[in-house]
Amino acid sequence: MTTFFEPRQLVSPGTLLAEGNYQPGFNVYRDDGKYYASMVGLADIRNNVISVIPLRGCYIPQPGDVVIGKVVECISTAWMLDIRSPYQGVLFASEFLSKPLNPLKEEARRYLDVGEMVVATVMAFDRTRNPSLTARDHGLGKIHRGTVIDVDFTRVPRIIGKKGSMITMLKKETGAQILVAQNGRVWISGKSRDEEAVIAEAIRKIEAEAHTTGLTDRVREFLVNKRR
Amino acid sequence: MSESKIERLISEDGIRCDGRRLDEIRPIKFQLGVLKNTDGSAYVEWGRTKILVGVMGPRESHPKHLALSDKARVEAYYRMASFSVEEWKSPAPSRREVELSKVIREALEPAIFVEFFPRTSIDIFIEVLQADGSTRCASISAASLALVDAGIPMRDLVASIAVGKVEGKLVLDVQDKEDKAGESDMPMAYMPSKNAVTLLQMDGQITHDEFLQSIELLKKGCIEVYKKQKEAIESHFKSAVSNGEEA
C-alpha cells in the first residue's frame, strides 16, 4: 500500500500513482495491481479512491446531470440536441411536452426548432446509445430569455465553487438568475443585455484564472467596479 | 585526405557529422496547445525537423457507416508540406504519406482507451513543416502530446526514436543525411511505463547482435524523449498546479 504522489500533484497519462489495495476513481486505471493516471490532471486520494481531476477533456454524460442542449435536428417525435459531448442528446417529445405528440397532425418543430436551447437532465446513458434527456421536471424546459455562454467543461466545478460559494456570490452580487450546466454551458438571465454581458465577462475571468487563490474576492471586486 | 574527411559521417573519435556522440539525440523541443480550432495540439522541433499536430475528437463519426460499435475510430493523416523537403514535394498525397499515416495510427492506437468512446472518431492531423529525418518518430511523439492536450484517456505517452547503422556503427536518432547514406534504419515507438513496443520497423541489413544492441539503444532513446514529453506537459499545465482552490 503505497502512493507515489503528493496531493494535487500534476500527473500525465502513464504516471504511476499507487500500488496495493486501492480503488480506481475517475481517470485512473489499474494494471497488474498498479494504478496509473490516464489523463493529464491533478492526482487526488479520498477514502482509498485514487482519482485524477482532469485539466482537459470533453463532457461525457452522466445520469442526473443538468445540461443545456441546442437543438440541431427535429425528427418526427424527438429532437437531437448538441450537448457539447461526442454523443448527441435525444429528447423525446413525451419527455418535453406534457401531452403526446402525433406526428401525423403536427410537427415537432412547432414546439422546438433548430437553434433553440433547452435545459434538460440526462435520464440514461451507457455509450451504446445516445444519452436520453428529459425536460419534464421543475426548472427544466426551453430557454426563452437570457444569454447562454459556452465554457470549458473542466472549469465547471470552479464556476460553482466550493459548496457553491462562487455561484452564490455571483447571484447575490448581480441579482441575476444563473444556471451552470454540467456540460459546460451557463445560462444567465439578468435585467438587461448589458448586465448579462458583465456576468459573462466575470465567468470568462473565472475560467481563465481557475487555479489561482482568492478568486472569489477578485471576481466580486470586478463586479463591484463594473457596477459603478 | 581532406576529401575523405568530408565524406565521412562519423569521425575516428566517434563524433557524428553534426557534432553528436553515437548515442546522443538531437535537441528536442515540444510545445502543447498551439492551435485554437482543434481539441488538442502540439508542435515539435526535433533538430531541424518541425512538425505540427492537431487532434479533433472524440466526436461523432462521419460518415456514420464507418463508426465502430465497440470503440472509437482512430485516424491519422500524415502530410508533408510542399516546402518541407529540399526538392519541392508534390502536394498530392504520396504512397509514402498514406503508409506513414497507417503506421502512425497503429503506433498510437494501443495507447488510447478507444473502448471508452464507442461510435466516435478521433482524428490526428500531422503536418510536417520541415523534414530532416525521423519524421515518423517525431510525429508519433508529438501526436501523443496532442492527444494528452485533447484530454483523451491514454495508458501512457508514446515516445519514439530511430536507430540507424552508419559506416558500420549503430547511431541513435538518425537524421536525413545519415538515413540516406546509412546501411539501415530502425524506428521504434515505445510506452516506457508499460514497457510495451507499439511500432518496430526496419529496413536495410543488420546482424542479430546488432539488432539486440539496437533495441537497448532505442529504449534508452525513447526514455529520453519521454522525459522531454513530460517536461513539456508540466510546463504547459504548471499554472494549474499553483495552489488553487477547487470545488
What's the pLDDT at A99? Answer: 84
pLDDT in tens, A91-144: 999 999 988 889 899 899 999 999 999 999 999 999 889 999 999 999 999 999
- Say if residue A210's pLDDT is above 90: no
- Rounded CA-CA distance B210/B16 in Å is 19
What's the pLDDT at A211? Answer: 78
Under 8 Å between Cβ of B52 and B41: yes
Instruction: Tell me how close the Cα of B34 comes to any Cα of chain A, in angstroms.
Output: 14
What's the pLDDT at A172? Answer: 93
Number of domains in chain A: 3
Q: Are residues A153 and A123 in the same domain?
A: no
Q: Are residues A182 and A118 in the same domain?
A: no
Number of domains in chain B: 1
Q: Which of A114, A142, A170 is the last residue before a domain boundary?
A: A142
- Which residues in chain A have Cβ-Cβ distances shorter than 8 Å to B238? 10
Question: What's the CATH number where A10 sits?
Answer: 2.40.50.100
In a domain, A171, yes or no: yes
Q: Which residue bears the cell 556503427?
A: B169
- Say if residue A186's pLDDT is above 50: yes
- CA closest to A154 among chain B residues: B151
Instruction: State the ipTM, two decimals.
Output: 0.90
In a domain, A85, yes or no: yes
In a domain, A1, yes or no: no
Q: DSSP string of B42-104?
A: EEEEETTEEEEEEEEEEEE-SSGGG--SSSPEEEEEEEE-TTSSSSPPPSSPPHHHHHHHHHH
Collect the ranges in chain B with pLDDT lower than 50: 1-2, 243-247
Q: Are residues A151 and A219 in the same domain?
A: yes
Question: What's the CATH number where A214 sits?
Answer: 3.30.1370.10
Amino acid code (one letter) for B213: Q
In a domain, B5, yes or no: no
Q: Cβ contact (<8 Å) for A13 and B243?
A: no
In a domain, A116, yes or no: yes
- Say if residue A159's pLDDT is above 70: yes
Q: Cβ contact (<8 Å) for B237 and A36?
A: no
Best probe of the B interface among A6, A8, A10, A90, by most B CBs < 10 A, is A10
Instruction: Tell me how close the Cα of B97 comes to any Cα of chain A, in angstroms.
Output: 28
Q: What is the dihedral of CA A112, B64, A151, B244, to 10 degrees?
A: 140
Nearest to B151 among A16, A39, A128 (CB): A39
Q: Which residues of A77-113 are buried (b: 16+ CB within 10 A; e: fewer)?
A: ebbbbbbbbbbbbbbbbebbeeeebeeeeeebeeebe
What's the pLDDT at B21? Answer: 94
Q: Which domain holds residue A26?
A: 6-54
What's the pLDDT at B118? Answer: 95
Instruction: Give the pLDDT band of residue A62 (cuts 50, 70, 90).
Output: very high
In a domain, B108, yes or no: yes
Question: What's the CATH number where A100 sits?
Answer: 2.40.50.140
Q: Cβ contact (<8 Å) for A27 and B153?
A: yes
What's the pLDDT at B1? Answer: 46
What's the pLDDT at B245? Answer: 45
In a domain, B72, yes or no: yes
Under 8 Å between Cβ of B128 and B80: yes
Best probe of the B interface among A39, A40, A81, by most B CBs < 10 A, is A40
Q: Cβ contact (<8 Å) for A86 and B120?
A: yes
- Which residues in chain B have Cβ-Cβ distances shorter than 8 Å to A32? none
Question: What's the CATH number where B198 sits?
Answer: 3.30.230.70
Q: Which of A97, A127, A142 is the last residue before a domain boundary?
A: A142
In a domain, B45, yes or no: yes
In a domain, A59, yes or no: no
Q: Which domain holds residue B140?
A: 17-237
B189 touching chain A per CB within 8 A: no
Cell readout for A87 is: 454523443
In a domain, A193, yes or no: yes
Cell readout for B46 is: 526535433
- Rounded CA-CA distance B42/B38 in Å is 10
In a domain, B3, yes or no: no
Q: Are residues A130 and A153 in the same domain?
A: no
- CA closest to B113 among chain A residues: A38
What's the pLDDT at A212? Answer: 82
- Which residues in chain B have Cβ-Cβ distances shorter than 8 Å to A212? 242, 244
Nearest to B244 among A12, A39, A213 (CB): A213
pLDDT in tens, B186-212: 999 999 999 999 999 999 999 999 999
In a domain, B217, yes or no: yes
- Beta-strand relationship, B73-80 and B120-130: parallel
In a domain, A79, yes or no: yes
What's the pLDDT at A213? Answer: 84
Nearest to B246 among A31, A56, A158 (CB): A158
Q: Are residues A188 and A162 in the same domain?
A: yes
Q: What percent of chain A has a predicted confidence (pLDDT) above 70?
A: 100
* Mean pLDDT, residues A159-187: 94
In a domain, A208, yes or no: yes
